Chain A
Amino acid sequence: GAGVSQSPSNKVTEKGKDVELRCDPISGHTALYWYRQSLGQGLEFLIYFQGNSAPDKSGLPSDRFSAERTGGSVSTLTIQRTQQEDSAVYLCASSRGTGGLETQYFGPGTRLLVL
């Protein structure tokens, strides 16, 4: 596709269950980012992948959160033992990764609701 896609668009889960969120970046973009947007809050950086480098995981809020990027393309964000405070919109973005002005292109997000 032409843009960043994310799936599912909406996810309702029960507290304690694990969830997986998927992001398909723009083809050819080597940089991929995950953000979390809680109600009334700005975007909180979670994790950043750039090519084959080790990911920057400095924004992950707890060890229940993990992410991987297979083959330098698709990324999966996993939240284990979900809690109600995990309810938020999870946004993925990608950029060319060539340095300088790095315009990030965002997907539509996955709306996660933990009951």
Chain B
Amino acid sequence: GEDVEQSLFLSVREGDSSVINCTYTDSSSTYLYWYKQEPGAGLQLLTYIFSNMDMKQDQRLTVLLNKKDKHLSLRIADTQTGDSAIYFCAESMRNDYKLSFGAGTTVTVRA
């Protein structure tokens, strides 16, 4: 989606942290999501954050939200080869079930 932007590629060494960034334009976004797509598969919801939160942590995943700058990030600690995938940022508005997706960030984990 034109309203959600992400960098297209990220290469990270196994064991390091990955940080994937996303910017969005609609200040009325209610929920922001991170989806993961492995090769040949559909999208899998990784995590989400409500717009009144600044941070959410779930095991190796940390989501940071800066509403002022409309910036969302996903940090993956101790990145593993199984984390190689395309990661999509998405937003939804209150009472609107449609998701607006970014173009996806392809994360490649190298040994």
Question: What residues make up the interface of A, taking CB atoms closer than 8 Å to B?
Answer: 4, 31, 33, 35, 40-45, 48, 50, 56, 91, 93, 95, 97, 99, 101-109
Provide 27 A-B residue pairs closer than 8 Å at the C-beta atoms, listed in order of the A residue.
A33-B97, A35-B101, A40-B8, A40-B103, A41-B103, A42-B1, A42-B4, A42-B101, A42-B102, A42-B104, A43-B88, A44-B1, A45-B98, A45-B99, A45-B100, A48-B98, A56-B98, A93-B42, A93-B43, A97-B97, A103-B48, A104-B99, A106-B35, A106-B42, A106-B43, A106-B44, A108-B42
- B40 at interface, CB cutoff 8 A: yes
Number of A-B contacts (CB under 8 A): 57
Give how many B residues have a beta carbon under 8 Å from the other chain's beta carbons: 25
| Cα of A50 to Cα of B45 in the assembled complex, Å | 21
Question: Is A101's CB under 8 angstroms from B31's CB?
Answer: yes
- B111 at interface, CB cutoff 8 A: no
| Cα of A105 to Cα of B97 in the assembled complex, Å | 13
Question: What residues make up the interface of B, taking CB atoms closer than 8 Å to A?
Answer: 1, 4, 8, 31, 35, 40-45, 48, 50, 88, 90, 92, 95, 97-104
| Cα of A31 to Cα of B95 in the assembled complex, Å | 13
| Cα of A91 to Cα of B102 in the assembled complex, Å | 15
